Amino acid sequence: MKINYKNIALLLALSSGMAGCTKDFDELNIDPNKLEIVAPGTLVTPTVYGMATYFTVRSNDFTWEIMQDGLANPSAANGIHRYYFTEQSGDGTWNNCYRYLRNIREMESAAINGNTKLPVYEAVATTLKAYIVGILTDSFGDVPVSEALKAEEDIDQPKFDSQEKIYTDMIAALEKANQLYTDPSEMNGNDLLYGNDKKKWRKFNNSMLLRYYLRTSKRGNAYQKIKAILDDPTNYPIFSSNAEAAMVSITGLAPFDYAWGRRQDYVNFTAMASFFVDNLNALEDPRRPFIMTQATELVNGKIVQVGYKGIPAGHSGDISHITYSPSTPNGDLMYPSQVGTPIKEIIMPYAEVEFIKAETYLALGIADKAKEAYEKGVKASIEQYGGLMPANYFSNPAASFDGTLDRIMLQKYLSLFMVDYQQWFEYRRTGLPKLPKTEHMLHNGVMPSRFMYKNEVRRFNPTNYEAAVQQMGGDTYHTKVWWEK
């Protein structure tokens, strides 16, 4: 066989040349339009807007019903106000929480591993992660956190962390973030919530720290821990006004549309609930016109307003005996007539902080400070809507501080209107306010404590799902989470 040495020499020369240019080829093959590391500040607004908008809607279609703020009308059967849950009731919560936790993971990674270390964005990522994980674990109990979202590390069946561990880790992370906010690095991204004011972010962080300590009130010395924070405002600044609260201003103009596509989607086919309305009436409360319309009735052939009236939650389905058209949501609260008018989507209100303080001081026997915080909380909630605090509000026996947790929790319930699931969580923690029950409610009138895990979790992560069920003590609507027990 004749060997063509000329061709072999040519191939060797080409091979040598290819090897020598590999490094340069790799460098030239980088897509200049693809970001290797995202700027952490670019993820703040999508996360804040997405979560606030989703849970504003959920507060309306879930929390209103289960906590007797308002309900679908007509409602002939089923309905959350009758404690009707399905296995899919929590699917949207699960999906959206993990969806935005991916954003947080990218933000945190970019802040820590980027070319320039940005401790302030590590802190912001921690604050937002605690906000989202808090809703997730309080809705389901034990959930994947430490091994979640790690498919690229070949973890596609993450273990479920116990809620006790989640709370321990979450509180520790918020404590660390409190110190990170003192770093001189500045925020420079697009921040829909606070406009890059890291002092307000720090107050939001520490106010949530109070929320999560309080949630564990049955599980340890939460009140003493809260008081230690309240006694150290220099190192633990918290909300002190509505201007500092975590409330997102939405104009309704693209890309920041209102939570509902149309005004009528928020207003129509909904009635306010008697429990909510009757308590506001007893208080002669100035929040009423901001939240709802007046009921109407046909009198002598004319439709006239007859004050604020709701319909009972958990009714039989037949409300033909009600002679008036009940109060409905005031569309201006969430979808003003003039698009472009700013509205507020609430992540955490300042009033909540004052009611946390009031409960803490009451539990520790400091009655004067409990009264002061209670009254500040009521005032903050009224003024949050743009209302004026009546000078004689607390002269009403229904409004005055009476030294009971019942009184504090009723006003806290009113102040948490439109705040994701917080009314539900606090009711599960305290059993307050005392909601009326009816024979038409399911589960013998016992309110569900949680959502069930998704079907996909049971199917595709069966080993860890079963371990979580054993850890939790079940996977039913009434399986109590760690801080409830």
3-state secondary structure of 70: strand
Q: What share of the chain is helix, strand, coil (3-state, %, to 5)?
A: 50, 5, 40
Q: Report the largest interatomic distance among the alpha carbons of the chain, rounded to a whole angstrom.
A: 116
Alpha-carbon torsion (170, 234, 374, 404), positive or negative: positive
Distances (CA, A) of 472 to 34, 101, 162, 196: 43, 23, 8, 40
Classify strands 246-250 and 296-299 as parallel, antiparallel or unpaired: unpaired
Q: State the Cα angle at 159 between 158 and 160, rounded to 5°.
A: 120
Question: Is the CB of residue 229 less than 8 Å from the CB of residue 210?
Answer: yes
- Look at the alpha carbons of 38, 191, 258, 327 in this order and tell me if their dihedral is positive or negative: positive
Pairing of strands 270-272, 70-72: antiparallel
pLDDT digits (tens, 9 = 90+) for 176-228: 999 999 999 899 999 999 999 999 999 999 999 999 999 999 999 999 999 99
**Distance between CA atoms of 354 and 207, rounded to whole angstroms?**
10
Architecture of domain 40-258+343-349+438-484: Alpha Horseshoe (1.25)
Count the neighbouring beta carbons within 10 Å of the beta carbon of residue 62. Answer: 20
* Cβ–Cβ < 8 Å for 107, 121: yes
- Report how far residue 45's alpha carbon sits from residue 107's, in angstroms, rounded to the nearest whole number: 12
**Distance, CA of 482 to CA of 137 (rounded, Å):** 10
What is this structure's pTM?
A: 0.92
Task: Please report, as a single letter, which amino acid is at residue 242.
Answer: N
Going from N- to C-terminal start, the domains of the chain cover 40-258+343-349+438-484, 263-333
Q: How many angstroms separate the CA atoms of 220 and 416, rounded?
A: 25
In sequence order, what are the residues at sequence separation of 6 or more whose Cβ sits closer than 8 angstroms to the Cβ of residue 63? 69, 420, 421, 422, 423, 424
Q: Which long-range contacts (CB under 8 A, 24 or more apart) does 224-227 make?
A: 224/364, 226/356, 226/357, 226/360, 227/360, 227/361, 227/364
In angstroms, the CA 126 to CA 119 distance is 11
Q: What is the CA radius of gyration of the chain?
A: 27
Helix axes 119-140, 163-180, angle to 10 degrees: 160
Give the chain's residues under pLDDT 70: 1-37
User: Computed from CA positions of residues 380, 382, 385, 390, in that sequence, does the dihedral angle turn out positive or negative?
Assistant: negative
Task: Retrieve residue 278's tokens.
Answer: 């009757």
**Closest C-alpha to 94, from 467, 458, 473, 472:** 458
Contact 183, 119 (CB under 8 A): yes
| Structure token digits, residue 167 | 């709370």
Beta partners for residue 481, in sequence order: none
By CB neighbour count within 10 A (0-12 exposed, 13-18 middle, 19+ buried), where does 485 fall?
exposed
What's the pLDDT at 37?
A: 66
d(CA 461, CA 340) in angstroms, rounded, equals 45
In DSSP terms, 294 is beta-bridged to: none
Residues 210 and 212: their CA atoms lie apart, in Å, by 6
Neighbours of 391 (CB within 10 A): 7
* Cα 226 from chain centre: 21
